[in-house]
Amino acid sequence: MLMGGRDVAMIFADVRLPGAMDGIDLAWEVKTRWPHLPMILTSGRPPERGSDLPHGVTYMPKPWQPLKVLIAAEEAIALDDLNRTAGIKPGWLP
């Protein structure tokens, strides 16, 4: 991301990731560094910290259909475009 971030249009990640950072931690890091980058998190189990998702991150439970992923991606990108057009700065809900 740091080297080729402009080449990334959206992030689709699982809540459970190997290593020290889970998907929710990743979502917060992404929204802090790249607040306009659309992001979708998924999991086969409800996230334990689901209410901790930053504003602008969509959650999709598994199993999902590929078409639904595409629709969610289009909606996330459209919402970001709408917010930019309206001059709404990215951030978190109060």
Domain ranges (residues) in the chain: 5-86
What radius of gyration, in Å, describes the C-alpha atoms of the chain? 13
26-40 pLDDT per residue, tens: 999 999 988 888 899
Asked whether the whole model's pTM tops 0.85, one would answer no
What is the chain's mean pLDDT, rounded? 80
CA 92 to chain centroid:
13
Q: Which residues contact 59 (CB under 8 A, 6 or more apart)?
A: 40, 41, 42, 43, 47, 50, 53
CATH fit for domain 5-86, picks 3.30.420.10, 3.10.20.590, 3.40.50.1980, 3.40.50.2300: 3.40.50.2300
What mean pLDDT do residues 4-33 have?
Answer: 87
What mean pLDDT do residues 61-75 have?
Answer: 89
